Structure 1
Amino acid sequence: MANRSEVADGDPDLRALRRVGRRMARADDVDAVAEAFVDTCVEELGITLAAVRVYDPRRDALHVIAAASDATPYLDGWDDHRRGDDRSPAWRAYTTGNREYVERPLSETDADPVSNALYLPLGTHGVAAVATLDDRGFDDRTESLLGTLVSDATAALDAAADRRGLRGLHDATRAMQAADDPEAIAGVVVDATESVLGIPYSGVRLCDDDGIPLAAVSDAAARDIGVGGDADGERRAREAFERGEPVVFDEIDDTVTAEAAPAFSEAAVYPLGDHGTFAVALPEGMPLDGRRRELARVLADNATAALDRAERSDRLREQASTIAAQDERLEEFANVVSHDLRNPLNVAQGRLRMARERTEDTAVAEDLETVGDALDRMDAIVEDARGLAVGETADDARELSVATAAERAWGAVETGDAELIVEVTGTVEADPGLLAQLFENVFRNAVEHAGEAPRVLVSDADTEGDPDVDGGRGFAIEDDGPGVPEDERGAVFRVGYSGRDGTGLGLGIVARVAEAHGWSVRIEDGDRLGGARFVVEP
């Protein structure tokens, strides 16, 4: 038996149809496929009354997208082609998937000369309609050629719908990712269900403290399905939500609110992670075929990802708001520290100097020395608290010599008999004021905890690989004190943590300065002086 290709080689009509099939397969959209079908009917098959109608989910109607010029005057005369009209052969062909043939004998006084009309389903996309102006109708060969043309057109429409679906999903996904809140994402899902899947009935439910209420619903669903007190809809949504997988329901028993509401063949509910559900209901005759099923699944997955992102963004906004409020309170506290506490502290220190000058009593002098130590400690606490509260950013970063910065900071700290050893050779990109704060606080920590006359070494950090990062170099600050126990090394950078005689703020400031520059800071055992070794790496 000869195959289709061999037959086509000897049959000019089939050769023409094969060319048209290739043309339709290359078409970018549904309209181009429909136009190719109509052109072929007119030019190759001699059928001058031809049109293509596709399903429009927003109108719930079969809408003309291509028609032969001779057919235009008769389009309105052909049936209304809307759902619910049992007289419409177009709807019967579309919903049943079978061709419908309408034969009407003509009379001399007939105002409508259309005699025979043939409605050919184009898969889930719509219907092709062809007609004649006489009683002869279509012979077997013409109907066979039409069958071949319809088969090629349906395959081309499937491919065009797939491409349109992918583009639509891409656009919908971008819109969902750009949406600010879950309700906006739900609205995009409902719109995409109509425009991409071609399903007019859909809704998205989002969880709250009271259940899974509707957050968005399509116009058709709002019009034809009861959305208030929809116990059955919520029951189905909860079942899919709790199972965590799509559920298809064959029996739809919602109470409808419109007298002319359509009959539904099935519904599908897709869980949206822990956010809610996405549901579609399909009118009778519209199957949840493989293409729609896959597009719905991808749409649900992308909506879930967008809802996850929105949830994270919402948490981050809340955290940012909380942090901003905390920073505002800290800045207010810093003003109080610098003004309301600094002034009486200065008065107390001045009076202490006067008292020391006036007394010759040894016991009183010793007491005054204790008072002086307490005031000095208060002064350190005030300075550290102010530096911690204001919150710093490395706005004036520049390349700095680590050695020069360390030596200047050492001169700004009361170090007594402590010794500074500078062996560092590198540079860092840093804000001068912040780098000084870092060194000053590590130096104070060494003076307070490393003994009577501690030694402090500033050197290049030994890092794996190339130590140069962002044009700078890591450095280390080591003392000869008792060191920091390994299980406490993370805690010492927390605000409020303190060993003996400390304020609990200095190393918290060190961590803040490092964070402001994008650096890391850690404590390890010193290999030169044997005490604590602070390693700072850009």
Structure 2
Amino acid sequence: MGNGEPGGGKQPDGSDADAGHSSEQGGGETDDPVPGRKIRRLHEVATAMQTAAAVEEIYELTVDAAVDILGFDWCAVEIATEGRFEVAAVSEEAPLEVGARPITTDHGVTGEVYMNGESDILCDARNHARAEPTLEAFRSGLTVPIGDRGIFQGISSEPYFFDEDDLELAELLITHTTAALDRVEETQRLNKLNRATRQLMTAETHEAVAREGRDIASAVLNAPLAVVFYHDEGLLVPMVATATASEVLEGPTPIEQPDDGSGESPRWAAMAQGETVRDTAVDDDRWELLNVPLGEQGVLCVGSRVQGAFGGGDVVLAETLAANIEAAFTRADREQRRREQARQLQRQNERLDRFASIVSHDLRNPLHIASTRAALAREEPDGEHVEAIQNALDRMETIIDDTLSLARQGKTVEETESVSLSKVAARSWDQVDTAGASLEIVSDATVQADADRLQNVFENL
């Protein structure tokens, strides 16, 4: 298959079809078996893959290694996308293009390899019951699954081109590819989590924190099932849940704390143990669940219908997210207290403003009387103005004392007495500037009141 020509593999009689496929050109290492050199070169490729920053770069390195080291001139990496295989990287000689979606993920032998997770060699497409080649030129193939991501495939225009040695080397290459993809995707998910955490930390209420936490869990952990339970007086109360979680967990409904603190509830067990607890749930599918404690604040529950979906890296991400949600809950509590303190301070300031306004208004009448009588006293030293001034000053002192008492004790009248309305009216009339008007009292009545506060009311009429 080197240089774009068909070659290599085993014929039906077991003989080599092309020695060029099983040995490297030049090099001069005649005492070193070819497979050993290829393995070492594949390990060098693995080192390069571990420095790659993007999955696209890893796919290209995979195809380049298959061409340069394994001699697969026609090869491609195809990723499962929306039920079809999409070409992510392809060799120059192959009759495919990046971005093409030639077949569905259940198509022929390729689909079986992807679904079963087991590599396969197709010796002759024309004599295979399940083979469904998309081009007449495709006679033999080698297919290796790349986890649940997709497949790597080598194709030849000659039958019996690939043998077990090719398959073993291809599987080694894809092992390196998978490890590199895991690393890059883990880094990308961690970066995504870090970016999302900044948004999480701006949430100002428990409800907002729970919503952000649910959405992050669903996106970063690829978990269609996600619930945030909040701990409230012996109950784990589901604050928010994805639509899938509502269906699978039937609500979900609040969970009462068992007598032993955990009992049969994996959610409570996670809180009691302070560590992640795995669980399963069953509807039409069997769901794998992770229950991650949020300190004493509650539990984050995430789930996938793919068994084994949550590996060690997923658990680390889930626990990191849970720690961030717990911190966000604590911050929301602190912000709630701060906002309440700010509201109390605002209310106090408003009361002080009203207090100042009341004091200013109530003092204005006796102060005006005192000022007027003082001016008259200078003109008529022997008049009754001094007594009027003293009465006005006494009234001002009473108003100040009453207002201070009101400020200290609040607005409630604690003690009342029988008060004559006519007497209160007369005293109030004496404390205001009447501008030549007169007061006529034609009847009287008695009420239960605080005399000084009632007089304030009359003075301000």
Q: TM-score range by the shorter chain?
A: 0.5 to 0.7
Displacement, 1:252?
Answer: 2.0
> Separation in 2 of the partners of 1:117 and 1:207?
56
1:364-397 Cα offsets, whole Å, 9 max, x none, are: 98x997x687567558769999x99xxxxxxxxx
Counterpart Cα distance in 2 of 1:63 and 1:313: 49
**Once the 2 structures are TM-superposed, how far is the Cα of residue 297 of structure 1 from its aligned partner?**
0.5
Instruction: Please state how far the C-alpha of 1:302 moved relative to its aligned partner.
Output: 0.7
Distance 1:145 1:243 in 2: 48
Give distance in 2, aligned partners of 1:263 and 1:111.
Answer: 35
- After the TM superposition, which residues 359-378 of structure 1 pair with which residues of structure 2 at under 5 Å, given as runs? 374=394, 377=397
Q: Which residue of 1 aligns with 2:259?
A: none
Per the alignment, residue 130 of structure 1 pairs with 153
1:187 aligns with 2:211: yes
Q: Is the 8 A contact 2:281 2:289 kept in 1?
A: yes
Query: Which consecutive residues of structure 1, in runs of 5 or more, have no partner in the other structure?
Result: 1-5, 82-86, 94-98, 257-261, 389-538
**Residue in 1 that maps onto 2:184:** 160
Distance 1:34 1:284, change over 3 A: same
Q: Distance in 2 between matches of 1:233 and 1:38?
A: 52
Partner SS, residue 26 of structure 1? coil
Matching residue's letter, 1:32 = E
The answer for the alignment partner of 1:347 in structure 2 is 369
- Aligned equivalents of 2:313 and 2:44: distance in 1? 27
Kindly provide the amino acid, as one letter, of the partner of residue 331 in structure 1. Answer: D
Question: What is the CA-CA distance between 1:304 and the residue it aligns to?
Answer: 1.0
Given candidates 282, 292, 313, the residue that maps to 2:335 is 313
Amino acid at match of 1:50: A
For 1:482, the equivalent position in structure 2 comes to none
Provide the rounded CA distance (Å) in 2 between the counterparts of 1:240 and 1:340.
66
Q: Is the contact made by 1:9 and 1:15 (CA closer than 8 Å) also made in structure 2?
A: no
Specify the SS of the correspondent of 1:203: strand
What does residue 251 of structure 1 align with? 280
Rounded Cα–Cα distance in structure 2 between residues aligned with 1:297 and 1:354: 85
* Larger relative contact order, structure 1 or 2 (CA cutoff 8 Å, min sep 6): 2
In the TM superposition, what is the alpha-carbon distance from 1:17 to its structure 2 partner?
A: 2.4
TM-score (norm. length: structure 1): 0.54
Partners of 1:104 and 1:213 in 2: how far apart? 58
Aligned to 1:505: none
The one-letter amino acid paired with 2:274 is: E
In the alignment, the residues of structure 1 paired with residue 334 and residue 84 of structure 2 have an alpha-carbon distance, to the nearest angstrom, of: 43
Distance 1:128 1:219, change over 3 A: farther
- Give the equivalent residue in structure 2 for 1:174: 198
Cα 1:309/1:231, change in 2 over 3 Å: closer
Indicate the SS of the match to 2:281: coil
- Amino acid across the alignment from 1:100: S
Contact 1:119–1:128 (CA<8 Å) still a contact in 2?
yes
Q: Does 1:22 align with 2:39?
A: no
The 3 A distance-change label for structure 1 pair 382 and 345 is: farther
Matched residue, 1:226: 248
1:42 to 67, 91, 94: 67
The Cα of 1:345 is off from its aligned counterpart by 4.1
Percent sequence identity is: 27
The residue type paired with residue 77 of structure 1 is I
For residues 459-470 of structure 1, the aligned pairs below 5 Å read none
Q: Paired residue for 1:239?
A: 268
Corresponding residue for residue 338 of structure 1: 360
Partner residue of 1:469?
Answer: none
> How far apart are 1:295 and its partner, in Å?
1.1
- In 2, Cα distance between the equivalents of 1:78 and 1:181? 46
Query: Which of 305, 326, 331 is 1:304 aligned to?
Result: 326
Residue equivalent to 2:126 = 107
Return the index of the structure with the highest Cα Rg.
2
Shift of 1:63: 6.5
Give unmatched runs, 5+ long, in structure 2: 1-30, 257-263, 409-461
- The question of 1:51 aligning with 2:70 is answered no
CA spacing shift, 1:30–1:63, aligned 2, 3 Å: farther
Q: Let me know the Cα RMSD of the aligned residues.
A: 4.5
In 1, Cα distance between the equivalents of 2:307 and 2:248?
21
Change (3 A) 1:107 1:42: same
Structure 1 residue 210: deviation in Å?
A: 10
Once the two structures are TM-superposed, the CA of residue 157 in structure 1 deviates from its matched residue by 2.0
- Residues 1:307 and 1:341: Cα distance change in structure 2 (over 3 Å): same
